[in-house]
Amino acid sequence: MNPDGAWQADFGSDLSEQSVVLLRNGKVLGCDHQYFYEGTFSIGTDGTIRAHIKVEHYAGQPRSIFGDFGTLALVSYQTDLRGVVERGKVHLMGSINGDPNKTLVVTLTRLMPAPRRAERRPRTIAD
């Protein structure tokens, strides 16, 4: 299954907000009302998906899916995720790079597939 398209992200946390993620040609872009996600993904020959994502806070009081850290806020981190693509869903797991105790479980649900590429026809003088 080609994962290119728009997806709703569920981070498996009571603190997560609705997020939209776009997968297109090996690139990941997404956001919720406080955090922006950007990265890359690849699909292995065995059907597994791997993603490297940078998460960056951009608006409001930082409120991470990992909860509060006292006076510190988790405003930027990177993660490597691994999972499977199946029947309109992508199931991913990973942790914050450098802190394996902060794990992520992400489920993407397809909102819409990527647009089909239009067939190119040869141009003629009449065009």
Q: Which CATH class is domain 5-113?
A: mainly beta
Q: How far apart are alpha carbons 36 and 21 in whole angstroms?
A: 10
pLDDT tens-place string over residues 66-92: 555 544 456 788 999 999 988 889 999
**In degrees, to the nearest 5, what angle opens at C-alpha 65 toward C-alphas 80 and 30?**
60
- 106 or 62: which leads in pLDDT: 106
- Nearest 10 degrees: Cα torsion 83, 107, 40, 72: -110
Distance CA 116, CA 68 (A): 43
Q: Give the CA dihedral 72, 73, 78, 80, nearest 10 degrees.
A: 100
Phi, psi of 107 (to 5 degrees): -120, 125
Domains in the chain: boundaries: 5-113
| Mean pLDDT computed over every residue of the chain | 81
pTM: 0.77
Residue 55, token pair as written in the block: 């998460």
Per-residue pLDDT of 2-34, as tens digits, reads 889 999 998 876 555 678 999 999 999 999 888
Do 93 and 104 touch, CB atoms closer than 8 A? yes
pLDDT band at 120 (very low <50, low <70, confident <90, very high): low
pLDDT score of 82: 96
